[in-house]
Structure 1
Amino acid sequence: MSDKIFINDRVRSSGHKWKVLFTCALANTCFTFVIGGVPAAALLLRDDYQISTPVLGMLMGIVGIGIAFGEVPWGMLTDRLGDRPILITGLTTTAFVLILTAIIINVVPIVYAPVTLFIGLLIIGLSGGSLNGSSGRAIMQWFDKDERGFAMGVRQTAVPLGYALGAVFFPLVSYKMGFVWSLYISALFCILFAFLTYLWVVDIDQGKSTETNGTAQKTESATHVFKQFAIWRIVVAIGLLCAPQFALMTFTMLFLHDFAHINIEYISAILFFIQISAGFTRISGGYYTDKKNNRAGFLKAVTILSAIAFFVLTLLTFFYGETPSTHLSWALVAAVLVAGVFILSWQGVGMTELATMAGPKSVATAMAMANTATFFILFATPTIIPWILNATSWTGVWGVMTLVCVGMFFLF
């Protein structure tokens, strides 16, 4: 990108793109702060609002359902209207609903608290889903093709960062000040980044054509991606490759504690290390593929390495089930670590490859398709795994995840 960028007859330095990246990444962080924070405060919600365990489980998942159903409409709207108005709308709407939910929960009888939370979290998911495609589109506009992998890696790192911060601060604030204050603070973050979006995020005029992978892209509608088999193939691959991610991050605590008899403190440290590593590998993977221009090769390599890691985990699980030992239990820990690092490393590169294939006029729609698939898999995975576990064993669970990784090699 040249030293000067002309936007709406104004001149901005190319350094402005870092402000755009900062705003878009942290806008995603403040939304995933809520997604990761509400489940972390589950015990307080159960006790303070007298919510049964089945209803509590439904509340934990309703945000994701809202995101899944809202992603594609928001993505199509972003490609039509631009990323700036959608980002501002999504952030301000999410803030408004967070505040309204907190106020209503305080005034209604406690018996209506679950219904209030259900409706509020569903709408928060629907409105917050706008941030994924719009922030991705903004980054793809502002960064050159040899920088987009790195930039998208930074944005994708905002997701585990938001989850981690929410998991720490939501319970802390909820226990000290009350759950509603967690919602108020989340709303404040949304308002702050809506203001920064207003100041810094500007749509770049794409002109008559835009260079993508060295080929001029003709003006085309955002909906053309629905007709492309190659786009659907990578959307399905992104969605399904999230299944081993969710399986590992959701069931590691149960697996290592109940099956391998590892202390909870150690498992928490393992999960924390995996999430921190995910941030590093997503950014470094994006930077590497920008320099080498080999995103497809990187994705194939990650699927194979992940398949090998899960296969080793499957074998160790089988042998530990036959003859348990301390050495094998710690070998299981090491296998979980390695599998986690590999399977969480590819998201930024995958989204960049999808956006590049879709072209500038359909970036948000394509990303929304992938995010819809991702969030449906997010809820299908923890639903199906108990059935696999009951029908087979932990060996069967990790074996199925191995096969998923192998299958995605051919889709990528």
Structure 2
Amino acid sequence: MSLNSNKLPDKNKNFFSDNHKWKVLFTGAFANTCFTFVIGGVPAASIILRNDYHIPTSVLGLLMGIVGFGIAVSELPWGIATDRFGDRPILIAGLSTTAIALFILAYFARISSHNSISIILCAGLLVVGLFGSSVNGSSGKAIIQWFKPQQRGLAMSVRQAAVPLGYALGALFYPYISIHYGFSTTLFISAFICILAALFSYLWIIDPDSKSERKTPDITQSLKNKSTQPMKSLKVWRIVLAVGILCAPQFALMTFSMLFLHDFAGLSIGYISILLFFIQISSIPTRIGSGFYTDKKGNRKFFLKAVTALSFILFAALTVFTYFSYKLNIHHFAYFVSFIILISGISISSWHGIGYTELATVAGQKSVATVLAMANTVVFFILFATPTIIPWLLHQFSWVGVWAVMAVICAISYFLFENPSSEK
């Protein structure tokens, strides 16, 4: 089968039945898990990197965000290429080049001196972001094509649940493996699983053929009828911006919870790793459950508003308790504030599948990969900016200022999402 083959070959029509959509969903989810394993793992290993390589906090923030910058720069080109050439060749090319970049970075991270390691890690993680962003729009478009409109919320939520799964595995294994076998070993492991994801993409990512679309027009026709020019749509841009900036509080927790709970609250690395793992794992059933719930109730707009409001309340509470922490016994404060971070992390990570489904529905199928790439461009610029700016906020305003800014961002996102009164 040709690498550029996107349509379903006649001889394989019986093999690729309607049930094949579950293989497509698995492959898309697995590809996202492989890539986010790196994104979530590097911040979780931040203390090890700081101690082993003597990296200052300001440079550490850049390391934790540089993957996001690479993704943001390349996201839209990958999305446009996916709409043009199809999901399969883009996933195979992107995952393969990501694996090569990880192998090279792992090798140089193992042999380099402390003086050059910061530059090598920054450059290598930037390249990983440039190639790895291919998994975002491409796997999303494949899932939208294979699933019926009344199933897309659940399917996209399952796909998005792979993101916290990758973060969780990275948060758990990157520190452990880095401590016992070295940071470069985690990069080698990441490269191997990207190769495996590329193999699944070669075997199972197939676009539905024109004949199957005519037999089951409800799978694709509703989005085709709604196709729009996403770059010119104010409605699309509002959702894109809301989705993008609402990721800032999530990235703040993902990248700096380790330092906050270790340096400020005095908790151990092992305890914090387990906490971060549990946050991401808990996000999986909440994402899948929210997809099932909103598919059944048809209330995606209401759900997005509700989750954003809840996240604002939780980050505001985190701000208040951090401010008054000097009056509290440090032992009780440490475990109480870790509980707030746990609940905040689950809340702020639960909405992604719904947000992306709403965006894809508004844009229409012809522009699915493009609008997902638009959203992910903003998302990963935020991923780059958040850990880069937080050290400055921390220096100027302490942890109180960091969490207060995240609460304000939740409030802004609340007003960007469309009102539930327009729900159909």
Matches within 5 A, 1:10-409: 10-11=13-14, 12-41=16-45, 57-103=61-107, 114-174=118-178, 179-205=183-209, 215=222, 217-218=224-225, 224-260=229-265, 266-321=271-326, 323-325=327-329, 331-409=336-414
Report the TM-score when normalising by structure 1: 0.85
Q: 1:240 to 1:111 in 2, by over 3 A?
A: closer
Cα distance, 1:127 vs. partner?
0.8
Quote the Cα distance in structure 1 between the aligned partners of 2:97 and 2:334. 47
Quote the Cα distance in structure 1 between the aligned partners of 2:301 and 2:372. 17
CA deviation map 1:250-302 (0-9, x unaligned): 34344445555556555444333222211121111111111111111110111
Quote the Cα distance in structure 2 between the aligned partners of 1:50 and 1:398. 27
CA deviation map 1:61-94 (0-9, x unaligned): 3222111101000001101111111011111111
8 Å contact from structure 1 (residues 244, 404) kept in 2: yes
Bigger shift: residues 105-114 or 253-262: 105-114
The percent of aligned pairs where both chains have the same amino acid is 57
Quote the Cα distance in structure 1 between the aligned partners of 2:189 and 2:397. 44
Quote the Cα distance in structure 2 between the aligned partners of 1:268 and 1:297. 33
Cα distance, 1:25 vs. partner?
0.7
Q: 1:216 to 1:179 in 2, by over 3 A?
A: closer
8 Å contact from structure 2 (residues 149, 222) kept in 1: no
Q: 1:200 to 1:257 in 2, by over 3 A?
A: closer
Counterpart AA for 2:188:
Y
Cα distance, 1:175 vs. partner?
5.4
Pairwise CA RMSD:
3.3
How many residues in Structure 1 have an aligned counterpart in Structure 2? 404
1:3 maps to: none
Q: Structure 1: which 5+ runs fail to align? A: 1-5
8 Å contact from structure 2 (residues 82, 369) kept in 1: yes
Q: 1:284 to 1:315 in 2, by over 3 A?
A: same
CA deviation map 1:137-159 (0-9, x unaligned): 11111111222122222221222
8 Å contact from structure 1 (residues 306, 405) kept in 2: yes
Bigger shift: residues 379-388 or 103-112: 103-112
8 Å contact from structure 1 (residues 210, 360) kept in 2: no
Q: 1:15 to 1:285 in 2, by over 3 A?
A: same
Counterpart AA for 1:217:
K
Cα distance, 1:375 vs. partner?
1.3
Cα distance, 1:395 vs. partner?
4.0
Cα distance, 1:363 vs. partner?
1.0
Quote the Cα distance in structure 2 between the aligned partners of 1:110 and 1:395. 33
Cα distance, 1:399 vs. partner?
3.3
Bigger shift: residues 25-34 or 378-387: 378-387
Runs (4 or more) in structure 1 with deviation over 6 Å come to: 46-53, 106-111
Bigger shift: residues 345-354 or 37-46: 37-46
Report the TM-score when normalising by structure 2: 0.83
Quote the Cα distance in structure 2 between the aligned partners of 1:117 and 1:394. 27
Quote the Cα distance in structure 1 between the aligned partners of 2:61 and 2:275. 24
8 Å contact from structure 1 (residues 210, 216) kept in 2: no
Quote the Cα distance in structure 1 between the aligned partners of 2:108 and 2:337. 47
Quote the Cα distance in structure 2 between the aligned partners of 1:390 and 1:105. 29
SS at 2:150 equivalent: coil
Q: 1:357 to 1:60 in 2, by over 3 A?
A: same
SS at 1:202 equivalent: coil
Q: 1:189 to 1:219 in 2, by over 3 A?
A: same
Quote the Cα distance in structure 2 between the aligned partners of 1:92 and 1:232. 32
8 Å contact from structure 2 (residues 58, 391) kept in 1: no
